Each structure stands twice: as C-alpha cells, then as structure tokens.
Structure 1
Amino acid sequence: MTTGAPPPPPSTRSRPGTLRRLFPLALAAWFVLEVWLLTLVAGAAGGFAVFLLLVAGVVLGSVVIKAAGRRAFKHLSEAVQQAQSGAAPLSAPRPGEGSGLVMLAGLLLIVPGLISDAVGLLLLLPPIRKGVGRWTERTLERRMSAAAPGSLGGAFQQARMRYPDGKVVPGEVVREEEGPTGDPQGPRPPLTP
C-alpha cells in the first residue's frame, strides 16, 4: 500500500570526519593504557609509589599552569600599558613561545597517568614546544587558507587582511531587498524609545 508521498530528501549533512569517529576510540584506548601502566608500576614499586607519582604530577602541573598564567598576564598588562602610552605594539610571540602550550603541558601533568605525564614533561622542553608550535601554526594556516570563502576559515582570512597603512578594515556589503511598495523593508521603527 503506497500513499503516494515522495520519499524524504537525502540528508545534506556530511559524514563526520575520520578524526571525529576515531577520537572516542583513541580516548578509551589511552585510558586503558594509562590504567594498565599504573597497575604495572604499582606491582613493581607498590601502591604508595604510584600515589606519590600522581600527587607529584598534580603539584608540578599546578605550578607550571600558575607560572604560565602569570607570564600571560604580565604580557597582557605590558601590551595594555604600551597601547595606552601610544608606543608601538609588541610583536606577536613566535610559535612555541606563548603560554598556551605550557598550560597544556601543565594540564597533561595534572591528568593522572604516566603517558600524559611524559607528554607534559616533553612539552616543557623549549625545542619540542617550538616544534609543536610551528607545526600547529602551519596546520591551522593551511586549513584556514583551504576553507571555503563563506566559512569561519574564510572569515579569519579576511580579518587578517591588512592595508598598507596597517589598519584592518572589516566590513560586509548588505543589500536590502525592496518590498512590494518599492521601499526597502517598509518603514522602520525609531532606534530609541
């Protein structure tokens, strides 16, 4: 028995990317590996040693995040002071010199587990942090330049366009459609009550 109704239109949503599909699986595998390594260390060195390792990771991670936050606040206050005095603005930090990766390293140290601690400690090393920073910047720039003009990446690219005098001129052309009387959208209410 058919009703004669047309079939529903095919979905226009794109399928999630491979990374989005594999992320939960990778997160679960990482969790299982962290627990397995902690049980191996607990079997070899004892439960108290594992407890001390986890507490040391939390304390070290907290210290790292606090120091990175202070440095970021110091740079922000210096930039505000220079902007108020009319001096030339500070140059942007080079990849790996910002506080973001240091804060990520501190967060990884706080997360319980030996693998996350090892990755956090590696991110504290300046050469590795600079390499990760450069790789991240190149990847983001490549994805932004490959983005469609109407997407968020296109908006970021347009926002980065600068004119010779150094001023950024954001803008958008908005065309109003004319109503049936010829007036654009008819009469408008006043802006103030």
Structure 2
Amino acid sequence: MSFGRIFFFIFGFALLEVLVLAQVAGLIGWPITIVATVATALLGSYLFRSQGLATWTRLNQKMQQGEMPGQEMVEGIMLLLGGALLITPGFITDAVGFALLLPGSRRMLARKAVEKGTLQTFSSMQGGGFTYTSYTRTQGGNPFQQPVDRNDGHVTIEGEARREDK
C-alpha cells in the first residue's frame, strides 16, 4: 500500500470520526460527549491492564508446558491495538477497541487469525545466533505441532510444510 493511500485512509477515517462525534454531540450535547469519550478511555485502560495480565499469564503457562503460544501472541497484539484505539478520541475507534479488548470477541478473532494465517517466530540458538521459522497452515494439517527432541541436541518439528514464495 502506497503512502498516498495510507494518508487518504487515515484522513478519511479521522474525518468520519469527527462527523460521528459532531452528530452525537448534537444529540446529547458536547459536555456529555466529552465525558463519554474520557470515560471510554479510562475503561479501556482498565480493560487493557486486566486482560493484558491474563493473556501474559496464559502465554507464560503455555511456554512452560513447551507449547507454541500462537493464540496468546496474536491476542497480545490485539490488546495493544485495542488499547491504542481506546485512547484515541472517537466512538468508531472505541467500538473497534472494545471488540479487541473484550475476551470473547478477541479470542474468537485471534483463533480465526491463527487458523488462517502464518505465525512467524525468531528463536535464539546456542552460540548466540537466531533462527527464523515460518509456520503456515496447510490443508487439514496442524502447523503448530510440538517439536520432537531426538536427544542429539537437534530439534525436529514433525508435520507438513509448504513453501510459498511471494
């Protein structure tokens, strides 16, 4: 996406947000609109903190069990985005932000993203290097299968893989 398209998208979205704020303020008055905007930012900050802690705890538990915390990593990104949207003034950003912060909708969206998408990770190797791994969902396969340690220091991930060049 080019810079011009991104600029016009952001400009158009900001204009739409201002129009919605003006319409709401025309119905209920500016003081109540401002209080509502501040209240959603405060509520969003509380939700971000509590849901972020819960997601962080689940992520740590999965890692300690040796499982890939793909769902939790996607939820963490959604939490950051939702928190940023809730501190941005406006009712459209608040609606999207709450959808990303509320546990039910966030988990559903994260589960769909993990099932459809690609999870890419960087992991450290002994000796100070890093490896890059890309897990792509294959037809009917599970891209997040557990690594198998062959007792020779090498780790093998069993399953199907497909390389997609862009």
Quickly name the TM-score band, shorter chain normalised.
Answer: 0.5 to 0.7
- Greater fraction of residues in strand: 2
2:67 & 2:147 partners in 1: Cα distance? 19
2:115 & 2:5 partners in 1: Cα distance? 23
Change (3 A) 1:164 1:93: closer
Q: 1:103 aligns with which of 74, 80, 92?
A: 80
Q: 1:34 aligns with which of 17, 24, 31?
A: 17
Partners of 1:64 and 1:103 within 8 A in 2: no
**Aligned residue type for 1:132:** L
Corresponding residue of 1:92: 69
Larger Rg: 1
Q: Secondary structure at the match of 1:157?
A: strand
Instruction: Kindly state the Cα deviation for residue 36 of structure 1 after the two structures are TM-superposed.
Output: 1.0
Corresponding residue of 1:59: 42
Change (3 A) 1:57 1:155: same
Instruction: Kindly state the Cα deviation for residue 69 of structure 1 after the two structures are TM-superposed.
Output: 3.2
Per-residue CA deviations over 1:82-129 (Å, capped at 9, x if unaligned) read: 4xxxxx435525369833323322322211001001112222444432
2:53 & 2:146 partners in 1: Cα distance? 31
TM-score by length of 2: 0.61
2:116 & 2:60 partners in 1: Cα distance? 30
2:70 & 2:32 partners in 1: Cα distance? 40
Change (3 A) 1:74 1:56: same
Please list, as runs of the form range in 1=range in 2, the aligned pairs for 1:79-158 lying within 5 A after superposition.
Answer: 82=64, 88-90=65-67, 92=69, 94=71, 98-138=75-115, 140-141=117-118, 155-157=132-134
Per-residue CA deviations over 1:14-72 (Å, capped at 9, x if unaligned) read: xxx36x54222111111001111111111221111111111111101110121133224
Q: Secondary structure at the match of 1:99?
A: helix
Structure 1 regions of 5+ residues with no counterpart?
Answer: 1-16, 83-87, 145-153, 170-193
Structure 2 regions of 5+ residues with no counterpart?
Answer: 121-130, 136-143, 157-166
Corresponding residue of 1:176: none
TM-score by length of 1: 0.54
Change (3 A) 1:74 1:157: closer
May I ask how many residue pairs the two structures share in their alignment? Answer: 135
Instruction: Kindly state the Cα deviation for residue 155 of structure 1 after the two structures are TM-superposed.
Output: 3.9
1:90 & 1:162 partners in 2: Cα distance? 7
Q: 2:149 aligns with which of 144, 165, 174?
A: 165
Corresponding residue of 1:3: none
Q: Secondary structure at the match of 1:156?
A: strand
User: What is the percent sequence identity of the aligned residues?
Assistant: 27
Partners of 1:102 and 1:123 within 8 A in 2: yes
